[in-house]
Amino acid sequence: MFSMGVTNTVDKQISSYLKRLNMEQKKRVLTLLKSYVEENAEKHTFEKELERRISDYESGRGKVYTMEEIEPLLIKKVKLKKE
């Protein structure tokens, strides 16, 4: 992780560059930042859910299905969506 001094330097550099941008450029930067933050949040949520499911399986609380068990159900579901 960054030390406090490095973080302050990075924050100052970001602020300095933002002051030079016009509103349209700032909107693009904001869009990029939002997508980065949301992507990381989704990844974290996915990893936590995966860890929970593995834990449930290892403790005997979770059920695991084979492809042979779910394939007919998936095919049926796809056929229903096409209709």
pLDDT (tens digit per residue) in 16-55:
999 999 999 999 999 999 999 999 999 999 999 999 999 9
What single string gives the DSSP state of each residue in 42-78? Answer: HHHHHHHHHHHHHHHHHHT-S----HHHHHHHHHHHH
Task: Report pLDDT for 4.
Answer: 57
Euclidean distance between CA atoms 17 and 12, whole angstroms:
9
Q: How many CB atoms lie within 10 A of CB 78?
A: 9
What mean pLDDT, rounded, does the chain reach? 89
Give the residue from 62, 36, 38, 68 showing the smallest Cα distance to 50. Answer: 62
Task: Report pLDDT for 16.
Answer: 94
Question: Whole-prediction pTM value?
Answer: 0.50
Domain boundaries, given as residue ranges, for the chain: 4-82
Give the residue from 49, 51, 53, 30 showing the smallest Cα distance to 41. Answer: 49
